[in-house]
A = this chain, B = another copy of it.
């Protein structure tokens, strides 16, 4: 109802019969100087009644801060990133920060993306989620002097990062398959280099070793982070191996979906002939056919921890944020069955 006329600190101060500086002190809980309890209450009351909101521009100009964080996301259409964004947004808002979502499609071709966020948008810090190779990420990061934290990525020499335990996640997914009786299990890797790719590969291998299987190298295939990659990878698995796998672990939801598409195209029944378990979950996992059995990841938490940590660093309340979160467990749906030939 109340027409939100721009109400400034000066308005509040006048109405409360104090100087702006006093009002500022009170409203910022400045402890360095005491102010009479009565005055304080009066100011707070007036500010509330007038629905005062500090102008982030004035405040930002003064403090050289914008109270906004940038989050760089590689795929807007991928629902998995929506969870990271939601987590980051919630945490940012809790601290009075806002979140600028930036769709950074290709760091290799556009290495100035972060620099733009710094120079043009003046965000105070960066939450970086990316699928790019290390060298491109490093190059883009080198162009900015902004504090940042990596989400779902760990690279040498960069300490601020929030990741999930990829090995544990892959182990969970693969174990689900071995538990069902599978022994010839394919692996759709995102990439076979770097922390993320390697961790998941190790989890996959360990789960196989635990049941006495030494994985055939031809079962491991690079599929990238798209449905097309998953589809190609699945075809490769179907065509190349003498001993066709009876089950597949997919590194991401999208590659699992792509694999499903390849399987449908070939008329391979899932899970009757080939089972699939995916690392990563999102609501659409329930919309594929069959509905995907997945490992649920703490994506929301990663986003919120990254934002929390970044804000702590900005406010000198923290020095680093380096976390590895455990997967949230297995979501049993319909893409896993016992192998035919057991």
Which A residues fall within an 8 A CB radius of B? Answer: 1-4, 6, 51, 53, 55-58, 60-61, 64, 66, 76-79, 82-83, 85-86, 89, 96, 98-101, 103, 115, 118-122, 142-145, 227, 254, 257-258, 260-261, 264, 282-284, 286-291
Contacts and interface: CB of A to CB of B under 8 A. Distances in A.
Given A77-B283, A227-B283, 18 more contacts: A51-B119, A56-B120, A56-B121, A57-B60, A57-B66, A76-B79, A76-B82, A76-B85, A76-B86, A77-B82, A79-B79, A96-B120, A98-B100, A98-B121, A99-B101, A227-B286, A261-B291, A287-B288
Contacts of A86: 76, 103
A261 B287 contact: yes
A286 to B, nearest CB: 7
A257 B100 contact: no
B85 A98 contact: no
A51 to B, nearest CB: 7
Contacts of A4: 115, 118-119, 143-145
Among A1, A57, A142, A264, which residue has the most Cβ atoms of chain B within 10 A? A57
Nearest to A83: B77
Given A4-B143, A56-B120, A288 B288 contact: yes
Given A53-B120, A98-B121, A77 B76 contact: no
A260 B83 CA distance: 24
Given A4-B145, A282-B77, A288-B288, A61 B57 contact: yes
Nearest to A59: B57
A56 B86 CA distance: 26
Contact of A264 (B142, B261, B289): B289
A264 B86 CA distance: 31
A227 B282 CA distance: 13
Contact of A55 (B122, B260, B286): B122
A227 B120 contact: no
A10 to B, nearest CB: 14
A126 B63 CA distance: 27
A34 to B, nearest CB: 29
Given A3-B145, A77-B282, A85-B76, A100 B100 contact: yes
B287 A258 contact: yes
